[in-house]
Amino acid sequence: MPGSLRYAGLGIQLAATILVGVLAGQWMDRKAGTDGVFTILGALLGFGGTLYSLIRELSKDDKDGR
């Protein structure tokens, strides 16, 4: 794939994982009766997961010489 197109979906991936984390956190907050603790943790875990995926992808590309 051309250079810029290879990373075109990263923004959507970031938004989707944060959204899933927030929704799961809100559900857990309702079940536990807490005020947003799990929502914040879910958003941070979603962001962290995307960041980890990005770093792995970039380091794989660096090793391949792309």
Per-residue pLDDT reduced to its tens digit, 6-50 = 677 778 888 999 999 999 999 999 999 999 999 999 999 999 998
Is 14:45 a contact under the CB 8 Å cutoff? no
Please give the model's pTM, rounded to 2 decimal places.
0.76
Assigned domain for 22 exists? no
In angstroms, the CA 63 to CA 31 distance is 45
Total tally of structural domains belonging to the chain: 1
Assigned domain for 40 exists? yes
Assigned domain for 53 exists? yes
Domain extent, residue 46, equals 34-58
Q: CA angle at residue 6 from 53 to 4, to 5 degrees? A: 120
Assigned domain for 66 exists? no
Assigned domain for 47 exists? yes
In angstroms, the CA 21 to CA 39 distance is 7
